Chain A
Amino acid sequence: DSGVTQTPKHLITATGQRVTLRCSPRSGDLSVYWYQQSLDQGLQFLIQYYNGEERAKGNILERFSAQQFPDLHSELNLSSLELGDSALYFCASSVEAGVLSNEQFFGPGTRLTVL
């Protein structure tokens, strides 16, 4: 158990819908990262928040957004869902802000299926 929790574990929805994925980092970690893992694209970095502020953006679509709240939990919002958005979405947390020399602890993931 990494100490990172994600809910829900599974989510099935239809195209065009909007969903919210939730992540609680390890106690004491200020940084939260979101990743998408799909069969054809592998593990892709989406976005990072540090202590409530957006820190870095990776391959995140404009239909996706995230935020980190004062209690440090984070939510990833996916809207206008398409079939290709079906994937595993992982949250990771770390103590520090940068990825260099910085161990990230991954949650168990949310499996999103768009029908």
Chain B
Amino acid sequence: GQQLNQSPQSMFIQEGEDVSMNCTSSSIFNTWLWYKQDPGEGPVLLIALYKAGELTSNGRLTAQFGITRKDSFLNISASIPSDVGIYFCAGPKNNNDMRFGAGTRLTVKP
């Protein structure tokens, strides 16, 4: 089963609004990854975080690796319609086993 708890499960927002989603775990992870999946496509890596406390940006996306190493958040600023999709957090349980959260489904209304 999954060990990453992702919330919210879904979000409906207006274009231009900011979005925040997060991922928590009862276990420590040494790497946090955020992926986006468009309908009919495979997940695409958005941001990778490798160090506790790290804050990384990729355009309008910003993600942080929590200090406790048990959580991470992803923010999207000034959302646009193409931000629609499912966002997954992921982390390697060990060097060979990647775990994924259940995903946050984002809908952006123009």
Contacts and interface: CB of A to CB of B under 8 A. Distances in A.
Contacts of B92: 98-100
Given A100-B30, A108-B40, A45 B45 contact: no
Given A90-B42, A99-B92, A108-B41, A42 B103 contact: yes
A108 B43 CA distance: 8
B96 A42 contact: no
Secondary structure of the B contact surface, majority rule? loop
A58 B42 contact: no
A29 B90 CA distance: 21
A14 interface: no
B99 interface: yes
A2 B36 CA distance: 13
B82 interface: no
B72 to A, nearest CB: 15
A103 interface: yes
A92 interface: yes
Interface in A40-78: 41-45, 48, 55-56, 58
Contact of A33 (B98, B99, B101): B98
Given A43-B43, A108-B41, 17 more contacts: A33-B98, A42-B103, A43-B100, A44-B100, A55-B96, A90-B42, A92-B42, A98-B92, A98-B95, A99-B95, A100-B92, A101-B50, A103-B45, A106-B42, A106-B44, A109-B40, A109-B41
Interface of A: 2, 4, 33, 41-45, 48, 55-56, 58, 90, 92, 98-101, 103-109
